[in-house]
Each structure stands twice: as C-alpha cells, then as structure tokens.
Chains A and B, each alone.
Chain A
Amino acid sequence: MSAALKRLRSLSPEVLSPVLFLLAMIGFFLIVPTSQGHPIGSYSIYSVLQTFGTYGLVALALGLTMIAGEFDLSTLGMFALGGMLAVKLGESSAALGIVLVVAIGALAGLIQGALIAFLRLNSMAVTLGGYITMIGLTGTLGHDKSVSYLNVDTAIKLDEPIAEIFSRHSLIVLAAFVLVALLMGFTRLGRAVRAVGGDRKTSRTVGVRVNLVLIGVFTLSGMLAGLAGGLNAYSLATAVTNPGVAPLVFAATAALIGGVTVAGGQGTAAGIAAGALAMSLLQASFGILASPIWVTEIVTGLLLVVAVLLTAPLIRDRIANARQAYESLRARRTAGGID
C-alpha cells in the first residue's frame, strides 16, 4: 500500500493529472447517471466517443502548441473554416474534401508559424488575427449562412456505430491521436517540441532548430483543427459560420487537465487524449442526465479554474517549497530517531 502510494507520489504532475482526472470522470460517468436511474449502455459509450471525436482534435491541436510554449487561438477559426471548406470542396467526394481541408489547414498553420518564428511575434496576437480572418473567410464562403452538406450518405456512414461503441468519425480521430502520439513519443520531434516549449533560449544554444519546430507545430495544429472541423461538418451535414467558443473551452480544459501547462514544455499526446476523454465523459454524463446547459458550463468553468490554478507558477512554487520543507523535516526526524 505504502509502496503504491510512494510510486504515485513520484509520478510527475504531467502524468498524475490526466490519470486522476480520467479516473474521476470514469467514476462519475459510471455512478452518477446510474444512481439517477439512467443506466450506462454501449450507446452511452458511443456518445462519449462521439463527443471525443468532435472536439478531441481541437484539444490536440491547441495542446501541441501549448507544449511548444505557444497558444494557437486560430484552432477555433480553423475548426469553423475546415467545416465550411469540407462542405464546399467535398460535394463530389468526402475524402477529397477532407484531404483539401487538411492541406489548407497546413497552409494556414504554416503561414502563422512562419510569422511567429521568424518575426518573433507573440503567438496570441498572430493567431488572434488568424482566427478573425478564418471566421471571416468562413462567413464569406457561406454568405453568412449555415451551409448544408447534401451528401447525407456520408454523414450517416461517418457516424454509423462500429462494434457498438465506435464510429468511423471517432476511429479517424483516434487514429490521428495515435499517429501524433507516435510522432511525439517515438521520434526525436517530440523531444524537440518539448525542449522548445521548456526553454527556448537553451534549445537554440544546444542546436535545436527552434524555428522549424515552431513552424512544424503550427502546421500540424492547423491540419488537426481543419480535420476536426471537416469531420464535424460532415457528421452534422452542415457547416456553421461561427461555432462560438465552446470548442476552445473544451480544448483548453482538456489540455490542462491532460497535463499540459501554459508555460510549455510539459504534456504528451496521450495526456491530451486522456484529458479530452475525461471532458467527453463529463459532457456525456450531463447529456444522459439531461441536465440543462448551465450545469455543464458551470462545472467546466470551475474545472478550468482549478486546472489553471494548479499549474500557476506561484502556486507550483509554493507546492514545491512545501514539499521540500516536508521532506527535509522528515529527513531530520528520521535522523533524530537514529540518534
């Protein structure tokens, strides 16, 4: 027992946070709806994964830029633009539409990344401009109205349950997560991204190609957000002109409880996946309970406040100091016991 406790304590927050939050949300999902007379079935799990499929990639896109020490607000814009483009460009072939959307997402990310890297611009400012531009482009393409996707078969096929709990939609998203996780975990790119986020100056000194890494991360972010938007539009068979800030709220919360910090350098794709899954479980639970929207919003808001405070530098310092003081006190006590 104490060995397990020790092992738990030795885990870094970047591992601990997603594990604990995911476990808590699984517990919530299994217990609360059932206790209210809404038993969990395979359809419930299906809907969890559908939520995950809708917003998961936005969380991954935003989370990756946060690991690199930046913040990509334009994921929100690319999510909207991706939907509109997919509907417009994929009339004949959905697959072609997705490919084009991902390519355009890559281009948008590339431009923003290049501005941020070469001109040393603040990523908030650039991606804010990018966001507004993309929302504008979405409205322009859709003539300020939602556009429906006439290829309804695609929509049905995309969300058709597979093995009861999956759908093509959620499987594609999971595959994208696995791909990025492999890239981050098993190639030297992951190390470079974390290095750039953790300490940019030192990264330059030791020879990491910081500019390339930044451009790469923003390109990837654009691709993922575009893919998310395209898939979402096909699922709904509609592209909306402005999705609001809901995807951003989901993404930021998922990334933070997934062990990513705003300061950068910390977090993994698996952690973001866990965070997104935790958020999906929460939202699905409220869906099953048929709670009004405000419940979800207040719970999400509070969760986000807790997550951001836990990662705030001054609070982290205090926790670290308290830990050290405790350790040294214990060490002194043990030493005293031996005397």
Chain B
Amino acid sequence: MSATEHAVMGPGVSRSPLERLSRGDLALLLGAVVVFGVLVYGAVSTQGFLSYGNFKAILASMGIIGIVAVGMSCITISGNLVSVTLGTTVVVTTMLFLAALTFGPVAAIVLTILAGAAVCALQGFLIGGFRANPIIVTIAFGTLQLGLAQRLTNQSTVYPPHDASFRFLAGTVFGLPLSIFVLIAITLALEFWLRRSRLGRESYLVGENLRAARASALRVTPVAVAAFALAGACAAVAGVLLGASQGNATLLTSETYTFQAIAAVLVGGIAITGGKGAIYRTVLGALFIAVVSDMLLLRGYSTGVQVLVRGLVVLAAVVIVQLLAKERA
C-alpha cells in the first residue's frame, strides 16, 4: 500500500499540451524525413555539390572544428555544460605554437598541447572542486587568456620563425587534409577513453547524476579536471593545425570556433545536461553542419545566412533530443 502512496509522489505536475501531443518517435521520423529530403534535394540541385573536389572541401572545412568539438563533448558528457571560450584557447595556442617553433616542431607541438590542457584543467578543477558554474568560469578564463595573449604579443600578429619547418602539418595525406586524420584518431582515442578507462566511465556517471555520484563517493573533481584537460588538449591540437595552415595568428574570431564546436555537439544529439551521447555523434554533427554550410556556400549564400541556418539547426536539434528523451522516460 505505502508503495503506491509513495509512487505517486509530488503534485500532479500538469503536462503541457505540446508534451502530450508530440510523440517523440513521430518527431524523430518527421525530422529524419525532412532532413533527408532537404539533403537529397540540396545534393542533387546544387551545382558542383556532388563532386570529389567538393567532398574534399567539406572534409577540409570540418577537420579543425571537429577536433575542437570532440574535445567540447568531453566537457558536456561529464556534466559540465560547455566551455564558452574554448575557441579562445584555440587561438591562443595557435600563437603559442607559432612562437614555440623556435624549439623545433616536435617540442612546439608537445608544449602547446600541454599548455592547452593545463589552462583548461585549472578551469575543471575550480568547477569540479567547488561546483563553480562552468559558463562563468570559462568566460573568466577566456578573458584572462585573451588578456595574457595581448600582453605577450602587444596585440600584433604572431609569425613563426623563418627557418621553422612545420608545413608538413598543413599538408595532405591521400589528397585529404591532415586534420581529418587527426580528427579520426582523436575521436577513436576519446571513444576508447570514455568507454574503457575508469575515469571515462565515471565521467558518464558523474554527468548523469552529480548528486548520486557524490553520494557514492565517485571521483567528481578528477572527472571534471580530466574532461577539461582533454578539451584543452584538443583545442591545442586544433591550434597547432590552424597555425600550420595559416602561417600566422591573430586574436580575432575566437568565438567562431567556440560556437561552431558547441553547435556540432548539440546537433550531434549530445544532451547538454550530461551523461549521455558518444563522441562520434559530435563528428556526425560537425559533418552535417559542414555539408549544409557547403551547400549554402555553393548556392551563393552569405556567411550570415550560413550562421543563421546553423542556429536554426541547433534549435531544432535541441528540441528533438529533448522530445526523444521525454518519450523514453
């Protein structure tokens, strides 16, 4: 008896009409049909879309963003929302990499990745250790990184040393940019880490239910530190590749990387509340965004329109993911 009395705990929360109407499966099906239809129509009707050259262009455009995005996914899965300044880390590590090339390319790469991991690990420590809000902490550290970079560079463009040999990082393998192979390697490594390592598994648990994780004495702080450190390392790898392909670095446009990465995570269907999703889905999200942007580009739409469509896609993805989650619950 008491069982039932407890089972109907709480007040009868009124369900909104939208909640009752929308069958999650229907939404998914409808969404899939619409998306598929648009993609097929776009593919067929867009001049020059279905070509090997364009295929390579799409992959080239998603490589670096994809790397930042899979790093971002670690933060999201571990229940720490997102970093709203991971793009700043990308830009700042680009500068660091170009400047550090004086020590040779290998040392520069190692140094850059360590620095990116360290600056984000510190943020993870504040967030996991004191439950400080991730959004605010990352905003603060973004500002600090920018300030520091401006101090060190006097707000000028950073160029690598003349004799530096790093162009191999901007080269292609089998006709495809190196960044794509790096993205695949990182994705596999992170998938392995999340599924097989103890800390990775605990990330899912902590992300799913922080209170339960604390109550069962899971390692909440190390999980946050690890997630942010990995995100920082990914951002730094993106920074290295960006530096190599651009050959110089300025502090402009850092938020583009951040928000494109977050968009890929959300479009990939990873719940922002944490504990769910897989890294490869972020890659699919990034690919989807790259394909849509490419179509719009080929059809002559401006950057503004591309960003606008990306925003709408993110909104749609967020709504669909939530409807599906509700349906299962």
Contact = CB atoms under 8 A, between A and B. Distances in A.
Interface in A97-140: 115, 118-122, 124-126, 128-140
B124 to A, nearest CB: 14
A241 B266 CA distance: 24
B33 interface: no
Given A139-B302, A140-B308, A301 B140 contact: yes
B322 A121 contact: yes
A245 interface: yes
Contact of B302 (A143, A292, A294, A313): A143
Contacts of B4: none
Contacts of A135: 259, 307, 311
Interface stretch (B11-19, B43-51, B58-66, B199-207): B11-19
Contacts of B310: 132, 136
Contacts of A236: none
B141 A301 contact: yes
A152 interface: no
Contacts of A134: 311
Interface string A297-323: 110111011011101111100000000
A249 B142 CA distance: 9
Contacts of A137: 304, 308
Given A121-B322, A140-B305, A128 B266 contact: yes
B250 interface: no
Nearest to B142: A245
Nearest to B323: A119
Contacts of B147: 293-298, 300-301
A139 B301 CA distance: 11
A39 interface: no
> Interface range on chain A: under 10, 10 to 19, 20 to 34, or 35 or more?
35 or more
Contacts of A128: 82, 259, 262-263, 266, 314
A130 B139 contact: no
A134 B149 CA distance: 29
B307 A136 contact: yes
Contacts of B19: 118-119
Given A122-B272, A205-B11, A312 B131 contact: yes
Contacts of A249: 139, 142-143
Interface string B239-278: 0000000000000000100010011001000001100000
B126 interface: yes
A136 B272 contact: no
B164 interface: no
B27 to A, nearest CB: 11
B305 A136 contact: yes
A215 B317 CA distance: 21
A122 B141 contact: no
A308 B137 contact: yes
Contacts of B38: none
A298 B140 CA distance: 9
A304 B131 CA distance: 15
Interface of A: 71, 73, 115, 118-122, 124-126, 128-144, 201, 204-205, 211, 241-242, 244-245, 248-249, 252, 256, 262, 292-298, 300-302, 304-305, 307-309, 311-315
The 9 closest A-B pairs by CB, nearest first: A139-B304, A136-B308, A133-B311, A297-B147, A136-B307, A132-B311, A301-B144, A140-B304, A129-B315
21 contacts: A124-B135, A128-B263, A129-B317, A130-B315, A131-B311, A132-B314, A135-B311, A136-B306, A136-B310, A137-B304, A140-B308, A144-B304, A242-B255, A245-B85, A292-B150, A298-B151, A302-B144, A308-B132, A308-B136, A309-B126, A311-B133
Interface of B: 10-11, 13, 16, 18-19, 81-82, 84-85, 126, 129-133, 135-137, 139-144, 146-151, 155, 255, 259, 262-263, 266, 272-273, 302-312, 314-315, 317-319, 322-323, 326
